[in-house]
């Protein structure tokens, strides 16, 4: 017993599913603002960036300062 696959129904179902997913995603009002501090590792340095003030601290990757990760380091 073989069943024929209706291509039109498959395409319609996939399109309807995509529209529903996009509608739900567009209606979502929650946004992720991230944390205040961002940490970046580049060129042998660890950089800590305070995204609310723009202040940047840096330490060497090979010998990091133990106080580097404190929120008020370098002040």
What 8-state DSSP symbol labels residue 42?
E
Q: Which residues contact 26 (CB under 8 A, 6 or more apart)?
A: none
For 9-41, the pLDDT digits (tens) are 889 989 998 988 888 877 766 665 667 888 888
* pTM of the entire predicted model: 0.44
Q: Would you state the structure tokens that stand for residue 5, as one six-digit string?
A: 């696959």
For 54-63, the pLDDT digits (tens) are 888 888 888 8
């Amino acid at each position: 017993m073989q069943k024929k696959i209706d291509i039109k129904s498959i395409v319609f179902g996939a399109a309807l599913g995509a529209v529903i997913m996009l509608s739900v995603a567009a209606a979502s009002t929650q946004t992720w603002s991230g944390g205040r501090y961002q940490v970046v590792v580049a060129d042998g340095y660890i950089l800590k960036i305070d995204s609310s003030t723009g202040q940047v601290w840096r330490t060497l990757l090979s010998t990091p300062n133990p106080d580097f990760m404190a929120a008020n380091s370098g002040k």
